[in-house]
Each structure stands twice: as C-alpha cells, then as structure tokens.
A and B are shown apart, each in its own frame.
Chain A
C-alpha cells in the first residue's frame, strides 16, 4: 500500500516570507495529491490538489508541484500571513475498488510570526 512521508514536522517563518512543505510517496500508481489545512479542533480543509497528469498548479498565494519520476510533491505558500498558521497535511490516493482512499502524511505545523 501507499506510504507518504512529510517534512518538516514544524516550520516557523516570518510574515511575508515563503514556506515550503515537501512530501514523498511510495506507490507510483497514485494519481491524486491533495493538501489540507487543519486548525486546532477543526476539520481538514482542502486548500489545493494536483493530479498526476499535471506538474504544477497555482491558486493565488498557494502552489503545488509534482515530480512523478521522483515521487514527490511540494506545497509552496508565498507572502505568508499569520492566518496561514495551522497544521498542513499532504495526502496521496491509494485506489481501492472504485473509491480512492487517502493516505496522509504526518503533518507540518506552520507558524507565521508577525
């Protein structure tokens, strides 16, 4: 089955700087890679996702890149703001029958210092 590793576990940046979180996956058949933001005690919220037929996707200050050959994908947040502080999880699909179960990385706690 799929295994997802995520680094770093914690990340502290100054407001306005960029933040990069990296993930690797093991199953070359995985084809969907979402990123979630989770605030304390809340549900994970999808912030961006990418499919295996695309190398990069951007949505305002957030971008995701995917390297299928190396089996890694990254989240890039530019011009960070204090409200970006949260835990971020990457995930990869593990196809099971007609559904796609997600395997999550271990999470990155991002702190944006004002």
Chain B
C-alpha cells in the first residue's frame, strides 16, 4: 500500500518552455503532497507543501510564479516549471501523506529527471 507515482520519469525540454510533472497517490488519498528538488550528490530540498484544495506553501527562496503547484484532487498534484532554464535541471521528487496512512510518514514518488537544454 501507499504507492506514489510520478510522470514523466525523464523529460528534456528547451530553454524557455514549460514542463508539467504529475504526482499521483495510487492507493490512498493524499491530503498533503510535498515537492522536493535534488541536485546531483546533494540532499533533498523541500520546495513547497500543498494541501488539497488550497494554495501551496513555498519554502523561502522558491519562486512561486516559476514553480506552479496545483493540488486539485486527493490523488493528484502537479508541478509546472515555467520558462525553464538550464539551472532548473534537477531531479524533482514528490511525496505524499494522507488520512489513511500515518500522518508522519511520507511516501515518495520515483522522481522526475528534468534536463533543460
């Protein structure tokens, strides 16, 4: 149980374009989803927290107009990287918690590797 999927697993886009990443909870209702960014050989840095039906809460230093987060349903959250640039190339990972699972534990998606050329 508590499976989280992400799509796509890899994406290459040109500088200036936008990319949407989906995060789905497959077997539970995710009341809260988290989005992380991980650069090579670095730790997971929390970008934002999203609760279903409300606006995301962004961490300090993360541009909310560049990284658009939508959590429209209890099983789906999306992260859109707008006007992507090479410095946005990274590994993006989502995680989810929900009412049917322990509120402390986060279940991670497999990640999306974004390369901006």
Residues 25-57 (chain B) with a chain A CB within 8 angstroms: 31-32, 34, 41-46, 49, 51, 57
A78 to B34, CA, bound (A): 32
A85 at the interface (CB under 8 A from B): no
Interface of A is mostly: strand
A71 / chain B contacts, CB cutoff of 8 Å: none
Report the contact-size class of chain A (Cβ under 8 Å from the partner). Answer: 20 to 34
Residues 85-101 (chain A) with a chain B CB within 8 angstroms: 89, 93, 96-101
A107 to B39, CA, bound (A): 12
Give chain B nearest CB distance to A81 CB in angstroms: 23
Stretch at the interface among A11-19, A40-48, A53-61, A62-70: A40-48
**Interface contact A43-B111, CB-CB below 8 Å:** yes
Assess A43 versus B43: contact at CB under 8 Å? Given A32-B104, A93-B104, A99-B103.
Answer: no
CB-based closest 10 A-B pairs: A99-B32, A43-B108, A32-B104, A104-B44, A104-B43, A43-B110, A106-B43, A107-B43, A44-B108, A100-B104
- Interface residues, chain A, with chain B CB atoms under 8 Å away: 32, 34, 41-46, 49, 51, 89, 93, 96-107, 109
- Interface residues, chain B, with chain A CB atoms under 8 Å away: 31-32, 34, 41-46, 49, 51, 57, 91, 93, 95, 97, 103-106, 108-111, 113
